[in-house]
Chains A and B, each alone.
Chain A
Amino acid sequence: MSRRKHDEDDGYDRIYRKRRKVSENQDIEDRLESLILRVGEKSTSSLESNLEGLASVLEADLGSFRVKILRILADCATNMPEKCTIYTTLIGLLNAKNYSFGGEFVEYMVRNFKDALKNCKWDAARYALRFLADLVNCHVIAAGSLLQLLDNMVDAAKEDGVPQVRKDWYIYAVLSILPWVGRELYEKKEQSLDTLMSAIEVFLIKRHKNHHEALKVWHSDVPHPQEEYLDCLWSQIRKLRQDNWAEKHIPRPYLAFDSILCEALQHNLPALLPPPHHDSYHYPMPWVVFRMFDYTDCPEGPILPGAHSIERFLIEEHLHQIIESHHLERKDAAAQLLDVPYKQKIPLDYMIVEVIFAELFHMPSPRYLEVCYGSIFIELCKLHPSRMPQVLAQATELLFSRIDSMNTACFDRLVNWFSYHLSNFQFRWSWEDWESCLQLDPEHPRPKFIKEVLLKAQRLAYHERIHKIVPETFEPLIPEKPEPTFKYSDDTAPGANTARAIADAIRERCTPEEVLTGLAELPNPRAGVDEGDASSYNPLKIDVFVQTLLQLGMKSFSHSFAAISKFHYVFKVLAESEEAQICVLRSMFELWHNHQQMMVVLVDKMLKTQIIECSAVANWIFSKDMNGEFTKMYLWEILHLTIRKMSKHVQRLGSELSDARERLRRDESHSSESDEEMGGEGAGGSGVGKSGSGDDKDKPSEDMVERMEERLEAAQADQKNLFLIIFQRFIMILSEHLVRCDTDNRDFDTFWYRWTIGRLQQVFLAHHEQVQKYSSTLETLLFTHDLDPHILKVFQQFVSLRA
C-alpha cells in the first residue's frame, strides 16, 4: 500500500520528506530539551536509571545536536541550582563516554562564570562556581585545578584599594561551594585545602564589620545573636571541617556511578583570574543572618538543625531560592516551599516562617514588596491549615516578646504585616495574652506596637470594629474616632464668620477668585512683623480657607481631592513661601489630627499638585508643634513618601535626559551618514531616528537637552537640600536631648531617644541609594568629627555599607 503511494506521488513526496526531516530535527531538539529539563522530577523509574538512560540518548545525539545539548545543559546548570548534583552527574556520565564533550562543556561553563563576574551577576556566578566544584566530584574536573581557581579567588581578597564588599563576595563564593566539594578536596588535596582555609581565616580576622550594627533586626543578642553573614558561614564551614567534611544533606546521584566515573579522564580548568575591580561594579551588600527559632521552640519531631550546622545554611539557601524563583506566583511559592525533598527531616513550617521573616526584616530593605511575603504566608496557611497558622501565631508571640530591642524599620514592617494578616483572618487574636503591656509606659515598644496595629487595622476596617476585636481593657490603646475637629464651628472663634461665608459660597459653587475675595476681609495677625525676609503671608486666611475647604471635603478622600483640585489656585496664591506652606500643613493637622490616614493622603496630594514643597513637609515634621506626634508611625510614613516623591522626580528627569541624549547622539550620527549619501532619505539608516524627514517633533534639539540638564541639576539640588534639612533637624533635636540629659544628669536612653535614633537610621537605610550621592557633603557639613558619637555612629555605619 505504502509503496504504491510512493510510486504515485514521487515528486511531492521528496519535498515532503525533506520538510519532515527539518521538523523532525526540531522535534528531536524539543524532546531532548524536555528530557533534560525534566530529569530528576517525579518519575516511575529511579533517578539513577533515568540518568543512565538520558546519558545514552544524549551521547547518541551528540553527533547532530552537540551545540544544542551543550547549551541546554549549561542553562540548567545556571537556572536550576537546586538540581546541581543531578546535572553534574549527567555531565560526568557524558564525559566518561565522550571526553571531548566533557572538555567543551567545562570550557562553556567557565566562560559563563567569567561573563557573570564581569556583568556583576553574582548569584549566577556562584551557581556556576558551585557547578564547576561539583564536577570535581564527578571526575570531570581535577581537584587540583579547582583549588587553583579557588586560590585565585581568595587572592582577590588580598588586593588593596578595592571595596571590602568585593573581597567579601569572593570569599563568600568560595566558602559557599565547600559543602559540595570539601570532602573530595580533603581526601585528595588536604594540605592545599588547609592552606586555603588559613588564607580565608586571615582575611576574615582583618575585615571590618562597621555595618553589622546597622543591619541587625534586634539590638540585643539575646536569645539569638544576629550574626554577620560571613562570620556565620565561616562558623558553619569550620564545623563541617571538624566533622571531616562529612556532609549528608546534599543528594549525590554520582555516588551510584562511582565505578564508571572514576574511570573517566579529568579535565583541567583554564587559568582563571577574577576580573579586576571597576568603579562601575556594584557588589552585593552585606547582611545579617536572621534567627528567631532554636530547636526548643519546635514541637516533638524532627530536630531543627543547629545555627552553625551546614544543613541550616543549605536549607535556608534553598528556601530563599524558592522564594526568588516563585515570588511572582504566590500559590506556587507556597506549594514549592512545602514540598522540598527533605520536608520530613526538619520542622519545615518553622524554617519556612523564619526564612520569610528573614526576607521581610532584611536590612536595609526587603527584596520584594512587603505584601508579597504577607500573601505567601496566607497561601501557606491555606495549604497547611492545621499547622501553619499555629506556627505563625507562635512566631508572632515571639516577635512581640522581643520587640523591645527591635530596630524601628523592622518594627514598622511588623506592624504592617500583622495588621494585614489579621485583616485576612477576621482580626482574631488572643489579645488578652498581651494585657500586661497596658501597665507599661505608652512609649514602650509593646503598647506602641499594639496601638499602631490597631490604627492600621482601623484603616483596613473601620473604627467601631476595633472596639469589637479587643477586650475592653485595651481601651487606652484604641485609636480616636477618625473625625475632623473643626474649630470654626464655634461661632466665637476669630474668623468663624468668614469661614461660614466661604463654606456657603463654595457650596454654591463659587469660583476660586470669589473665595479669595471672601477672605480679603480677614486681618493678618502677622501685621507689624518684620517683612524683611519678603515672605508675606496671612496665617489666618490660610487657616480659615484650608480648614473650611477640607472640612467640606470630609466625606471621603475623593471629595477632599476634588476640593483641593477645584481651589488649587487659592492655595497657590495664599501659600507661596515655605512658611506659608507649613501653615497649610498646620491647619490641615488641626482639622484632621485624629484621622492619620487622611493626613497622609492629603500631604501626598498637595505634594503632587505642588501646593507644598518637600522641604516644607520636612520642616513641618520637625517643628515644635509636632513634638507630640513625633514618635507616631504615620508622621514617618509622611516623611518617607515625601522623600520618595523627590527621588522619583530626580530619577525620572535623569532617565528622560539620558533618553534624549541618546536620541540626539543617534540623530547626529545619522545625519552625518546621510550627508555623505546622495538623496538623504536616511537610506543607510537602520531604523531608529530618521534624520531630516519624518520624526522632527521627536528629535530633541541641543537646546532641549540643555534645558533638561538644567532641570535635572535643579532637582538634584532640591533633593540634596531636602536631605540636608532632614539630617540637620535630626542632629539638632538629638544633640539638644543629649546635652540636656547630660546637664540634668539624666539617662539619655529614653524611649523618645530610641525611637528618634531609630527614625534617623531608617532614613539612611530606606533611601541609601539616593543618600549615598550626597555622602561627602553630609560628611563635610553635618556629620563632622565633633558630633556626639552616638549620632555620628549612625552615619558611619551607613557609609560602611558600601565600603
Chain B
Amino acid sequence: MYIGNLSFYTTEEQIYELFSKCGDVKRVVMGLDKYKKTPCGFCFIEYYNRADAEACMRYINGTRLDDRIIRSDWDAGFSEGRQYGRGKTGGQVRDEYRTDYDSGRGGFGKNAQPKSAVQMFPGSTTGGIP
C-alpha cells in the first residue's frame, strides 16, 4: 500500500505501530528525498495477506498519525527506485507546487512564488518583459 501525507518526521517505528493494528506488517519502505535521502512524507507498506491490507483501507485510511490525516491507497508493488520522491528538488511532486505552509512537510512548497505568465510561457507576446 502507498501511504501519503505523512510528516517528514514520522518514523518507521510509528508506522509499524499503527499499521500493525490491521495485521502483521511484512515490510515498510520509507519514501525518501532523492538527494537528501531523508523521509519526505510517504511510504510503502506490505502486508502478508490481502485481508489485512483491506482492513488498513477501512480503518486506518483517513485517520491520524502524528496529528496528520494520512491516506492509504492500493499500490502495484514496490520496486527499487520507487522509494524516491520525483519532485524536481528531490521530495514529492506535490510539495513542489504546494502554496500553504505545512510545518510537518518542510514549510512552504518549493515553488512558493507563483511564476509569472512570461516565465511560464517564454516567447509569449504578453507581459512585455524581455
Q: Do A and B bind each other?
A: yes
**What residues of chain A have their CB less than 8 Å away from a CB belonging to chain B?**
328-330, 369-372, 374-375, 378, 416, 420, 423-424, 426, 456, 459-462, 556-558, 597-598, 601, 604
B58 within 8 A of A: yes
In chain B, residues 1-60, which have Cβ atoms closer than 8 Å to a Cβ of chain A?
11-14, 16-18, 21-22, 24, 28-30, 55, 58-60
Known: A460-B18, A557-B13, A601-B16. 12 other contacts (CB 8 A): A330-B59, A369-B22, A372-B58, A375-B63, A378-B63, A420-B21, A424-B63, A426-B67, A460-B17, A460-B65, A556-B12, A597-B13
B28 and A558 within 8 A (CB): yes
B16 and A369 within 8 A (CB): no
Contacts A423-B64, A426-B67, A460-B65; A369 near B12 (Cβ below 8 A)? no
B14 and A369 within 8 A (CB): no
In-complex Cβ contact of B11 among A369, A372, A416, A462 (8 A): A462
Contacts A369-B22, A426-B67, A461-B66; A375 near B13 (Cβ below 8 A)? no
In-complex Cβ contact of B55 among A371, A461, A558 (8 A): A371
Query: A557 vs B16: C-alpha distance in the bound complex, in angstroms?
Result: 9
B22 and A462 within 8 A (CB): no
B66 and A371 within 8 A (CB): no
Contacts A370-B21, A423-B64, A426-B67; A556 near B59 (Cβ below 8 A)? no
7 closest cross-chain pairs (CB), A and B: A371-B21, A459-B17, A375-B59, A424-B64, A371-B59, A556-B12, A557-B12
Query: How far in angstroms is the closest Cβ of chain A from B49?
Result: 10
Query: A448 vs B17: C-alpha distance in the bound complex, in angstroms?
Result: 20
Contacts A424-B63, A426-B67, A461-B66; A369 near B28 (Cβ below 8 A)? no
From B52, which residue of chain A is reached at the shortest CB distance? Answer: A369
Query: A557 vs B65: C-alpha distance in the bound complex, in angstroms?
Result: 18
Contacts of A558 in B (CB 8 A): 12, 28-30
Query: A329 vs B17: C-alpha distance in the bound complex, in angstroms?
Result: 22
Contacts A372-B59, A375-B63; A597 near B28 (Cβ below 8 A)? no
Query: A461 vs B17: C-alpha distance in the bound complex, in angstroms?
Result: 10
Query: A482 vs B22: C-alpha distance in the bound complex, in angstroms?
Result: 24
Query: A461 vs B10: C-alpha distance in the bound complex, in angstroms?
Result: 8
Contacts of A462 in B (CB 8 A): 11, 14
Query: A783 vs B13: C-alpha distance in the bound complex, in angstroms?
Result: 41
Contacts of B55 in A (CB 8 A): 369, 371-372
Contacts of A597 in B (CB 8 A): 13, 16-17
Contacts of B24 in A (CB 8 A): 604
Query: How far in angstroms is the closest Cβ of chain B from A385?
Result: 15
Per-position contact with A for B61-73: 1 when CB-CB < 8 Å, else 0? Answer: 0011111000000
Query: How far in angstroms is the closest Cβ of chain B from A644?
Result: 8
Query: How far in angstroms is the closest Cβ of chain A from B70?
Result: 11
In-complex Cβ contact of A369 among B17, B21, B64 (8 A): B21
Q: Which residue of B55, B58, B59, B64 has the most chain A CB atoms within 10 A of its CB atom?
A: B59
In-complex Cβ contact of A461 among B14, B30, B60 (8 A): B14
Query: How far in angstroms is the closest Cβ of chain B from A670?
Result: 31
Contacts A369-B22, A423-B64; A330 near B58 (Cβ below 8 A)? yes
In-complex Cβ contact of B13 among A420, A459, A604 (8 A): A459
Contacts of B30 in A (CB 8 A): 558
Query: A558 vs B58: C-alpha distance in the bound complex, in angstroms?
Result: 26
Query: A282 vs B21: C-alpha distance in the bound complex, in angstroms?
Result: 29
Query: How far in angstroms is the closest Cβ of chain A from B23?
Result: 8
Query: How far in angstroms is the closest Cβ of chain A from B8?
Result: 13
A-B contact pairs, 6 of them (CB 8 A): A372-B59, A375-B59, A460-B17, A460-B18, A461-B14, A604-B24
Contacts of A426 in B (CB 8 A): 67
Contacts of B67 in A (CB 8 A): 426
A375 and B60 within 8 A (CB): yes
Contacts of B17 in A (CB 8 A): 456, 459-460, 597
Contacts of A557 in B (CB 8 A): 12-13, 16, 28
From A645, which residue of chain B is reached at the shortest CB distance? Answer: B24
From B29, which residue of chain A is reached at the shortest CB distance? Answer: A558
In-complex Cβ contact of B58 among A329, A416, A556, A598 (8 A): A329
Contacts of B28 in A (CB 8 A): 557-558
From B66, which residue of chain A is reached at the shortest CB distance? Answer: A461
Contacts A372-B58, A424-B63; A460 near B12 (Cβ below 8 A)? no
Query: How far in angstroms is the closest Cβ of chain B from A369?
Result: 6
Query: How far in angstroms is the closest Cβ of chain A from B76?
Result: 21
Contacts of A601 in B (CB 8 A): 16
Query: How far in angstroms is the closest Cβ of chain B from A735?
Result: 35
Contacts of A329 in B (CB 8 A): 58
Contacts A369-B55, A370-B21, A371-B21; A556 near B13 (Cβ below 8 A)? yes
Contacts of B22 in A (CB 8 A): 369, 371
Query: How far in angstroms is the closest Cβ of chain A from B100?
Result: 20
Q: Which residue of B16, B17, B64, B67 has the most chain A CB atoms within 10 A of its CB atom?
A: B17
Query: A87 vs B11: C-alpha distance in the bound complex, in angstroms?
Result: 54
Contacts of A456 in B (CB 8 A): 17
Query: A371 vs B67: C-alpha distance in the bound complex, in angstroms?
Result: 17
B14 and A371 within 8 A (CB): no
Query: How far in angstroms is the closest Cβ of chain A from B81?
Result: 17
Query: A446 vs B80: C-alpha distance in the bound complex, in angstroms?
Result: 48
B14 and A459 within 8 A (CB): yes
Query: A558 vs B32: C-alpha distance in the bound complex, in angstroms?
Result: 14
From A644, which residue of chain B is reached at the shortest CB distance? Answer: B24
In-complex Cβ contact of B14 among A378, A424, A460, A604 (8 A): A460
Query: A420 vs B24: C-alpha distance in the bound complex, in angstroms?
Result: 17
B58 and A328 within 8 A (CB): yes
Query: A372 vs B21: C-alpha distance in the bound complex, in angstroms?
Result: 9
Query: How far in angstroms is the closest Cβ of chain B from A147?
Result: 44
From A459, which residue of chain B is reached at the shortest CB distance? Answer: B17
Contacts of A604 in B (CB 8 A): 24
Query: How far in angstroms is the closest Cβ of chain B from A1?
Result: 55
Query: A370 vs B21: C-alpha distance in the bound complex, in angstroms?
Result: 8
Query: A420 vs B22: C-alpha distance in the bound complex, in angstroms?
Result: 13
Contacts of B29 in A (CB 8 A): 558
From A482, which residue of chain B is reached at the shortest CB distance? Answer: B13
Query: A461 vs B9: C-alpha distance in the bound complex, in angstroms?
Result: 10
Contacts of A423 in B (CB 8 A): 18, 64-65
From B19, which residue of chain A is reached at the shortest CB distance? Answer: A371
Query: How far in angstroms is the closest Cβ of chain A from B39?
Result: 10
Contacts of B66 in A (CB 8 A): 461
Query: How far in angstroms is the closest Cβ of chain A from B119?
Result: 41
Query: A456 vs B29: C-alpha distance in the bound complex, in angstroms?
Result: 22
A371 and B64 within 8 A (CB): no
From B30, which residue of chain A is reached at the shortest CB distance? Answer: A558
Query: How far in angstroms is the closest Cβ of chain B from A604?
Result: 8
From B9, which residue of chain A is reached at the shortest CB distance? Answer: A462
Query: A374 vs B67: C-alpha distance in the bound complex, in angstroms?
Result: 16
Contacts A420-B21, A423-B64; A369 near B13 (Cβ below 8 A)? no
From A426, which residue of chain B is reached at the shortest CB distance? Answer: B67
Query: How far in angstroms is the closest Cβ of chain A from B13?
Result: 6
Contacts of A420 in B (CB 8 A): 21
Query: How far in angstroms is the closest Cβ of chain B from A371?
Result: 4
From A425, which residue of chain B is reached at the shortest CB distance? Answer: B64
In chain B, residues 71-115, which have Cβ atoms closer than 8 Å to a Cβ of chain A?
none
A556 and B63 within 8 A (CB): no
Contacts of A330 in B (CB 8 A): 58-59
Query: How far in angstroms is the closest Cβ of chain A from B16?
Result: 6
Query: How far in angstroms is the closest Cβ of chain A from B92?
Result: 20
Query: How far in angstroms is the closest Cβ of chain A from B31?
Result: 13
Query: A459 vs B30: C-alpha distance in the bound complex, in angstroms?
Result: 17
Query: A23 vs B64: C-alpha distance in the bound complex, in angstroms?
Result: 49
Query: A330 vs B64: C-alpha distance in the bound complex, in angstroms?
Result: 15
Query: A601 vs B60: C-alpha distance in the bound complex, in angstroms?
Result: 21
From A376, which residue of chain B is reached at the shortest CB distance? Answer: B59
Contacts of B16 in A (CB 8 A): 557, 597, 601
Query: How far in angstroms is the closest Cβ of chain A from B87?
Result: 23
